[in-house]
Each structure stands twice: as C-alpha cells, then as structure tokens.
Amino acid sequence: MIEVEQVHKRIGSRDILQDISFTWRENRMYGIIGPNGAGKSTLLSLLSGVEPYQSGRIRLRGRPIEQYGRKELARWLAVLQQEALPKAAFTVREIVAMGRYPFQNWLGQEEEDAEELVDRALELVGLHGMESRRLNQLSGGERQRVALAKVIVQQPQLILLDEPTTYLDIGYQVQLLDTVRRLQKNEGLTVAAVLHDLNLAAQYCDELIVLQDGKIAASGTPEEVLTADLIRSVYGADPIVLRHPEHGVPQVLLRRGKDLE
Ligand code: ADP
Ligand code: MG
C-alpha cells in the first residue's frame, strides 16, 4: 500500500525528517507517536502528497506519489486534520457532502448517488438527525465526527488522521477511535493516526512508529515498542508499563516527581 524509503525533509537549514523508511500494508491500523515537534504532522503531509521532500521515495501502490494528480490522490486517500473544517456556517450535511468534491465533474455532478453515501456516513458516525445543524451549534466531539463523516464519503482506501482525539473527552475519544477502527476493519482500509495517548495507541493500532527529532526511534507492535526504556529515552518520563487486564496490550502509568513522594 505505502512504501517509504530513506525519505529526507528539510525546511530551510533544518532537517525535519531524516532517513524515514517503512512499509504499510492494507487492512491495518498504524499509529505514529512521539513528542511535540518530532515531525509527525510533517510525515502525514508528505504521505498525503501535499508537501515535497528532498530525497528518498514514497510509493503508493507501487507508484511514486508525485505521479498522482490532486484529484486522483483525493479519490483514495483522505486526511483528517486538526481543526480543518470550514469556519463558515455550513450545515453538517453540506460539509459532509464536500467530501465528494473529488468525484464531481466540472458541472459539479457525479455519477454515483452521493446523497446515499452522505446518509450512510452520518449514520456511521452517529450524526443522523443532526444534519441541518450548523457547525457553530456543535460540540468539539460532534465536530470531529462531522470531519470523520466527510472523510468517509470519500470512500478512501487510506485514511490519515492527525491527533483526531486531542480535544475530546475520554468518552468521545473512545467513540471516535471505535468508529475509525470498525470502519478500517469492515472495509479493509489502511489507517494511520498520529496519537498522543499511548494507551489508546496500544489498544487500537496494529503497529506503531515512534518519531523522535525527525527520526524513527522504534517501530513494531505495541508490545515491541511501548517499553519503559523506550518511553524514558523518547519522552524523558519515567513510567510504569503494565498489561491491560482484558487484552494484554501494554498500558502506561505515569509517575509524579520523586521529590513529591
Ligand atoms: P509534530 O507534529 O510531531 O509535533 P511537526 O511535524 O509539526 O511536529 O514539526 C516538526 C518540526 O518541524 C518542528 O520543529 C517544527 O517547528 C518544524 N516545522 C514544521 N513546519 C515547519 C515550517 N513550515 N517551517 C519551519 N519549520 C517547520
Ligand atoms: Mg503535529
């Protein structure tokens, strides 16, 4: 699905990403974790084809990403960015329908029945009955679900999510990631999500990539990656790593400073 080989990204004289290589397969959910400024969002931008890079190669389905046209890319990969929804007072339904833009001809018409796709997406994210609400009448959690519905109507093969849960309370975090994971499994999609919460990353992702200072510090299954040593060296925190009592994945407990004992 995606092959990244020795990718290097420089902005000005700074190396933002160095020596990035990995392969992502279909029907998997990947997590990208790492401290602030590690290069996670930049990596997603490269993978979505909107940012150039200096050297290396990114291939989507065996073809270099540069060879894809804008619309062609948008037909099979979708990005859910932080705070990326239009600010104006569109309705929920109008915004979700905007996800169909890459499929329209120059008259704004499309062959498939978009209305049905929009209905199904609203249903999937649990926004049915709220479609005539305006964005400014929604909570943060609802807005994030609108963004996800807009991604769903694109019927992408690959979904890239940049911190999709950051401003949500724990109930909405789980609800959003449940929806994403279900969609990923049911449709056999590839999903890559930048996640800050290591415990959620361990529960939802098949594999993780850890970025630190623009380099891959570790990658593999959550079991392989989320060790106390790794977390100490990447985040400078000294955690306790336990197993989840129900499904055994690693879970991280933080410790307050020793002087506060
Ligand atoms: P993350 O998402 O992991 O927090 P980013 O990918 O946003 O990190 O940024 C990685 C580094 O690149 C940061 O140090 C950031 O300041 C820098 N950076 C990102 N975009 C630009 C830009 N357009 N110009 C200069 N520096 C940038
Ligand atoms: Mg970021």
> What pLDDT does 137 receive?
86
Is the CB of residue 136 less than 8 Å from the CB of residue 89? yes
Distance in angstroms (rounded) separating the CA atoms of residues 41 and 37: 9
State which ligand 1 atom lies nearest to the alpha carbon of 34: 3
Q: What does the pLDDT average to over 80-94?
A: 78
Locate 81 and state its tokens: 């960015």
Buried b / exposed e over 28-61, threshold 16 CB at 10 Å, is: bbbbbbbbeebbbbbbbbbbbbebebeebebebe
Distance in angstroms (rounded) separating the CA atoms of residues 58 and 20: 10
For the chain, which residues make up each domain, given as ranges? 2-222
Q: How far is the CA of 119 from the centre of ligand 2 (A)?
A: 31
State which ligand 1 atom lies nearest to the alpha carbon of 42: 6
CA dihedral over 240, 29, 47, 146, signed as positive or negative: negative
Q: In the chain, which residue ranges form alpha helices assigned H by DSSP?
A: 40-47, 70-76, 92-97, 114-124, 140-152, 170-187, 198-204, 222-225, 228-235
**pLDDT over 90 (residue 178):** yes
Q: In 153-169, which residue ranges form alpha helices assigned H by DSSP?
A: none
State which ligand 1 atom lies nearest to the alpha carbon of 12: 25
Contacts of 35 (CB under 8 A, 6+ apart): 212, 234, 235
Q: What does the pLDDT average to over 171-200?
A: 95
**CB of 50 shorter than 6 A to ligand 1:** no
Q: What does the pLDDT average to over 152-161?
A: 93
Q: What is the pTM of this model?
A: 0.92
Among protein residues, the one with the nearest Cα to ligand 1's atom 14 is 37
Among protein residues, the one with the nearest Cα to ligand 1's atom 12 is 16
Is the CB of residue 40 less than 8 Å from the CB of residue 212? no
To test the pocket of ligand 1, the residue of 42, 163, 235 to mutate (highest count of ligand atoms within 8 Å of its CB) is: 42
What is the tens place of the pLDDT at every residue in 90-126? 899 999 998 887 777 766 666 667 889 999 999 989 8
**pLDDT over 70 (residue 83):** no
Among protein residues, the one with the nearest Cα to ligand 1's atom 23 is 11
Is the CB of residue 99 less than 8 Å from the CB of residue 150? yes
DSSP letter assigned to residue 83: T
Among protein residues, the one with the nearest Cα to ligand 1's atom 24 is 11
Nearest CA to 181 out of 6, 59, 27 is that of 27
**CB of 105 shorter than 6 A to ligand 1:** no
> What pLDDT does 249 receive?
97
Ligand nearest to C-alpha 211: 1
Q: What are phi and psi of 51, to 5 degrees?
A: -120, 135
DSSP letter assigned to residue 105: -
Distance in angstroms (rounded) separating the CA atoms of residues 158 and 112: 20
CATH 3.40.50.300 fits 2-222, yes or no: yes
> What pLDDT does 103 receive?
75
Contacts of 89 (CB under 8 A, 6+ apart): 134, 135, 136
**pLDDT over 90 (residue 30):** yes
Among protein residues, the one with the nearest Cα to ligand 1's atom 10 is 39
